[in-house]
A and B are shown apart, each in its own frame.
Chain A
Amino acid sequence: DQQVKQNSPSLSVQEGRISILNCDYTNSMFDYFLWYKKYPAEGPTFLISISSIKDKNEDGRFTVFLNKSAKHLSLHIVPSQPGDSAVYFCAAPSNSGNTPLVFGKGTRLSVIA
């Protein structure tokens, strides 16, 4: 049973517009969430994170929103750039402390110039 779900396998956005990537989770014990970006032939790279004590975290063009009651988070990228084209994974620690992350299936973002 997938604890972290990304229901949109792909998303296409025009350059300069906002990209919104969504993620749902089932485990109410999750208290920290991370987004990773993956280019072809490279490993995933950490992008941004959010603790469950916050509902928003912003870093430049990237903002993550957390809605705990809905068990939903989203990643906003604005303005979107062609270099943002990649697969984005939502993740959460499987347990507290130094435990491995569980990942969603990813959403492939294509930013069209």
Chain B
Amino acid sequence: SAVISQKPSRDICQRGTSLTIQCQVDSQVTMMFWYRQQPGQSLTLIATANQGSEATYESGFVIDKFPISRPNLTFSTLTVSNMSPEDSSIYLCSVIEGLSYEQYFGPGTRLTVT
């Protein structure tokens, strides 16, 4: 299975600032996704990161707030812009290899906004 790393692992940020989270995979993957897990909640899909084109966002998430890049088949970034305390969550990168239902997850980035 793919090995996924994320940077940073955690951060504490001030309201109004932005943070970029990096996701690196050790192999080329078909699909890459970004999820958010707010305290006590489920994993919520933010967007599908498309290689070489704009990400596909889920309802309730917009590009201005969560810009995503995917320059190649092994790397993606998610930026959380103009942060507020409500953005405090764990952000998770996830991938699918080949033609499979199984998704593999990175270790997550724990973000606290003060």
A→B interface (CB under 8 Å): 2, 32, 34, 36, 41-46, 49, 89, 93-94, 97-98, 100-106
Q: Tell me the total A-B contact number using a CB cutoff of 8 A.
A: 52
Q: By the criterion CB–CB under 8 Å, are B42 and A98 in contact?
A: no
B73 interfacial by beta-carbon distance below 8 Å:
no
Question: Which one of B1, B33, B42, B106 contacts A100 once the chains associate, using CB atoms below 8 Å?
Answer: B33
In order of increasing CB-CB distance, the 6 nearest A-B pairs are A43-B105, A105-B42, A103-B43, A103-B42, A100-B33, A43-B107
What's the nearest-Cβ distance from chain A to residue B11, in Å?
14
Q: How many B residues have CB within 8 A of the partner chain?
A: 24
B19 interfacial by beta-carbon distance below 8 Å:
no
Q: By the criterion CB–CB under 8 Å, are B45 and A93 in contact?
A: no
Mask, B28-53, CB within 8 Å of A = 1, is 00110100000001110100100000
Mask, B1-20, CB within 8 Å of A = 1, is 10010000000000000000
The residue of chain A having its C-beta at the shortest distance from the C-beta of B1 within the complex is A46
